[in-house]
């Protein structure tokens, strides 16, 4: 029991966090990577450069007061599956290993995705789901993933995440960000696109492209482009995009529950901070959401992972 450091250097945000396993408090410092207006992302070499520049500054902010650490952890890859790799995660690994060596700390690593799930469990008060053997569903919906996961407590990995459904093409966050950039909104575009969508009074009847437990989202981008080319208002295209994503996640959740039985559903990832989507899902299922500040990329879940691993030692 004590104070744990987590570091996450994902594709679009540098973050580090402290988690106190005694009080349950956290301190988080994070900063988006700079993306030029009109661009839809960064090359990995640029992401590595910006993380290398930003992480020391954030660590100085995080440790503005002297702290005694018990352990630390970093995210090593986007997902805990073979072939999941991005060079940008090496920045967080190197800093965390240096801290561990200097302070003689136990160190662990986990996936960026697991960090999202743990941050969501923490922020909605459901870490207790890891105290029993009952499964739960989790969604990780972001620019890089639209995954449905069957989750169980794991004595070694803290929690096992088994992918049971995913998007076969575009991810939900990609759809949102591509439309936002097309409309001249900043990247990432979720927050501004939601504001725009709230100005629309249209209702849409949508049949999502869901087959079994998997989905396809390329249709939403094509439809939004056609709407704009036809001169339809940007706010209507924005609302159509978010409504389509809601209907897709709803259909996937229903299919997952039908196959695996009723259970709690945890929604994580930046897209799930959108209240137009989250509020409707909350009406349909035994649903729990990460708080807005812990929906996007953050290191709080990584710090919690370090604490939970330390508890098992």
Question: Which pLDDT value is given to residue 39?
Answer: 84
> Are 179 and 267 in a shared domain?
yes
Q: 236 and 257 in one domain?
A: yes
Q: CB under 8 Å to 105, separation ≥6 — which residues?
A: 69, 70, 71, 72, 99
CATH of the domain at 281: 3.30.420.40
Render pLDDT for 54-80 as a digit per residue (tens, 0 to 9): 999 999 999 999 999 999 999 999 999
Same domain (yes/no): 207, 276: yes
Is the model's pLDDT at 172 over the cut of 90?
yes
Do residues 29 and 45 share a domain? yes
Decide if 120 contacts 270 (C-beta within 8 A). Answer: no
Residue 53, both tokens: 């520049």
**Do 40 and 8 belong to one domain?**
yes
In a domain, 79, yes or no: yes
pLDDT at residue 171, as a whole number: 97
Is pLDDT above 70 for 295? yes
Domain limits at 105? 3-124+294-312
The answer to the question of residue 60 being in a domain is yes
Q: Which residue has tokens 């949508």?
A: 206
Report whether 216 contacts 175 (CB < 8 A).
Answer: no
- Over pLDDT 90: what percentage of the chain? 94
Query: What is the pLDDT, as a whole number, of residue 41?
Result: 83
Residue 139 lies in a domain: no
Domain assignment present for 145: no
Query: Are residue 15 and residue 120 in the same domain, yes or no?
Result: yes
Q: How far apart are CA 299 and CA 307, in angstroms?
A: 13
In tens, the pLDDT along 12-43 reads 999 999 999 999 999 999 999 999 888 888 89
Which residues is 13 bridged to in the sheet?
A: 32
Q: Are residues 100 and 190 in the same domain?
A: no
- Spatial separation of the C-alpha atoms in residues 59 and 289, rounded to whole Å: 28
Do 7 and 115 fall into the same domain?
Answer: yes
Q: What is the pLDDT of residues 216-267, one digit of tens each?
A: 999 999 999 999 999 999 999 999 999 999 999 999 999 999 999 999 999 9
From 255, 313, 312, 250, select the one nearest 287 (Cα to Cα): 250
Together in a domain, 32 and 97: yes
Residue 282 sits in the same domain as residue 300:
no
Q: Strands 209-211 and 136-141: what pairing?
A: unpaired
- Which strands make up the sheet holding 3-9, listed edge to edge? 26-32, 13-20, 3-9, 71-77, 107-111
> At residue 313, does pLDDT exceed 80?
no
pLDDT of residue 312: 62
Q: How far is CA 298 from CA 8, 14, 204, 304, in A?
A: 7, 8, 33, 11
How far is 224 from 250, CA to CA, in rounded Å?
A: 20
**Helix or strand (DSSP H, E) at 18:** strand 13-20
The average confidence (pLDDT) of the chain is 96
Q: Is residue 274 part of a domain?
A: yes
Q: What is the pTM of this model?
A: 0.95
Tokens of 253: 């959740």
Are residues 120 and 216 both part of a single domain? no
Same domain, 88 and 188: no
Tens digits of residue pLDDT in 135-161: 999 999 999 999 999 999 999 999 999
**Cβ-Cβ contacts under 8 Å for 6 (sequence gap 6 or more):** 16, 17, 18, 19, 72, 73, 74, 115, 299, 300, 301, 302, 303, 304, 305, 306
Task: Report yes or no on 141 lying in a domain.
Answer: no
Query: Which of 96, 70, 104 is CA-nearest to residue 1?
Result: 70
pLDDT tens digits along 186-215: 999 999 999 999 999 999 999 999 999 999
Task: Tally the domains of the chain.
Answer: 2
């Amino acid at each position: 029991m004590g104070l744990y450091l987590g570091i996450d250097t994902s594709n679009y945000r540098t973050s580090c966090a402290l988690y106190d396993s005694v009080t349950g408090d956290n301190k988080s410092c994070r900063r988006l990577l700079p993306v030029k207006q009109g661009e839809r992302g960064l090359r990995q070499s640029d992401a590595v450069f910006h993380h290398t520049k930003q992480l020391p500054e954030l660590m100085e902010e995080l440790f503005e007061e002297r702290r005694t650490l018990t352990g630390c952890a970093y995210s090593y890859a986007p997902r805990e599956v073979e072939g999941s790799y991005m060079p940008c995660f090496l920045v967080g690994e190197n800093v965390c290993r240096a801290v561990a060596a200097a302070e003689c700390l136990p160190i662990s690593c986990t996936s960026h995705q697991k960090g999202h799930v743990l941050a969501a469990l923490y922020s909605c008060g459901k870490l207790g789901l890891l105290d029993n053997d009952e499964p739960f569903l989790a969604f990780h919906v972001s620019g890089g993933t639209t995954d449905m996961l069957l989750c169980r407590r794991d004595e070694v990995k803290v929690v096992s995440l088994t992918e049971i459904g995913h998007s076969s093409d575009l991810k939900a966050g990609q759809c949102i960000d591509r439309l936002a950039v097309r409309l001249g909104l900043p990247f990432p575009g979720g927050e501004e696109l939601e504001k725009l969508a709230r100005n629309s009074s249209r209702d849409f009847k949508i049949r999502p492209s869901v087959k079994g437990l998997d989905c396809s989202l390329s249709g939403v981008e094509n439809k939004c482009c056609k709407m704009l080319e036809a001169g339809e208002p940007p706010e209507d295209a924005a609302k159509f995009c978010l409504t389509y994503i809601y209907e897709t996640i709803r259909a996937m959740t229903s299919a997952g529950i039908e196959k695996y039985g009723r259970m709690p559903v945890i929604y994580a990832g930046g897209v799930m901070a959108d209240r137009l989507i989250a509020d409707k899902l909350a009406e349909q299922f035994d649903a729990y959401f990460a708080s807005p500040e812990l929906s996007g990329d953050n290191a709080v879940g990584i710090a919690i992972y370090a604490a939970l691993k330390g508890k098992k030692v």
